Amino acid sequence: MKLTQIIIFLLISISVKALHVDSTHSPISKLYLGISFSSVSHHIYYRTSKAPEHVQSVYFAPLALNLGYQLTDKTRLQAGLAYGGNSDSYDWVNGQTETNHKQTGHAVAIPLTVQHNVLKVWRRFPIYGTATLMPAWGITKYETKEIVNGTTATINKGKVSGVDVFFTAGVGFNYKISNRLEGLAEYVPFRHNLTGENSIFYDWDYGLRGSLKIIKSLKVGVNYKL
């Protein structure tokens, strides 16, 4: 819920700022700032013997702040700082012993993106191809407790971290809202972990079908031209 509120606040703030600046008719540079959210679930694996069996990775869908540059009329280069994370808890009972496990993961990433316009539908809808290389660092804190006859004891507690590099590609379109503000939407069907696993069971939501598969392949955002 907090993440959704942050996204809404940032989108509204950028929109209001852009509309205000438009009224001054100041020059527009080739630089732009943006915010984007991708529903694509990335998966950082931990390669350490210190990690418990059930703490092997962190999933995250990146929320990114971006700085872009209009290299040519058709090509844009973009770098960003992204964040995401997940949390899980498990409970199981074995005889008189109840076990509770909690873990919280955080990930920070640097998406490096190139976009190239391939088609323009009317003047407001340039369609482009997009490709992103994104190194990401993740950390997960975990704690396991046992409850025996009403007495609670912590039996395992710690943290693990790891790094993976991802490559994604797809198509998108921009929509001009004002002279400085534009929205964007992307469909990203190609995803690959260059340094980790690409399991058909655990990665990239391969098991989804139909509309859910499309929803988990989307990216949306807004850009503000400086």
Write the pLDDT tens digit of every residue in 80-100: 999 999 998 888 888 778 888
Among residues 165, 111, 102, 104, which one has the least CA distance to residue 137?
Answer: 165
Of 197 and 129, more confident? 129
Measured CA to CA, the distance from residue 165 to residue 58 in angstroms comes to: 14
Least confident segment among 71-75, 104-108, 124-128, 151-155: 151-155
Q: pLDDT-derived band of residue 148, with 50, 70 and 90 as boundaries?
A: confident
Ordered domains of the chain (ranges, CATH): 2-225 (2.40.160.20)
What are the pLDDT digits (tens) for 176-218? 899 899 999 999 999 999 998 888 777 888 777 888 888 999 9
Q: Which two tokens stand for residue 155?
A: 């039996």
Tell whether the model's pLDDT for residue 47 goes beyond 50: yes
Distance CA 210, CA 131 (A): 24
Closest to 99 measured CA to CA, from 152, 159, 160, 157: 152
**Residue 160: count of CB within 10 angstroms of its CB:** 21
Distances (CA, A) of 157 to 107, 152, 163: 20, 14, 21
CA 76 to CA 72: how far, in whole Å? 7
pLDDT per residue as tens digits for the range 5-46: 555 555 555 555 544 545 445 677 899 999 999 999 999 998
SS (H, E, C) 155-166: EEEEEEEEEEEE
User: Quick one: pLDDT band at residue 1, thresholds 50, 70, 90?
Assistant: very low
Q: Is 83 helix (H, G, I), strand (E, B) or coil?
A: strand
Query: Which among 17, 114, 109, 21 has a CA at the least distance from the CA of 59?
Result: 109
Question: Residue 21 has what pLDDT?
Answer: 47
Rounded Cα–Cα distance for residues 219 and 211 (Å)? 15
83: which residues sit within 8 A by CB, 6+ positions away?
60, 62, 63, 64, 106, 107, 108, 109
- What pLDDT does residue 107 have? 97
Looking at residue 23, its pLDDT comes to 46
Burial of 28 by CB count in 10 Å (0-12 exposed, 13-18 middle, 19+ buried)? middle
Please report where in the chains the tokens 């076990």 appear, as a residue. Answer: 99
- The Cα 146–Cα 155 span in angstroms is 7
Provide the pLDDT for residue 113: 98
Instruction: Please tell me the pTM assigned to this model.
Output: 0.82
Higher pLDDT, 101 or 117: 117
- Does the pLDDT of residue 68 top 80, yes or no? yes
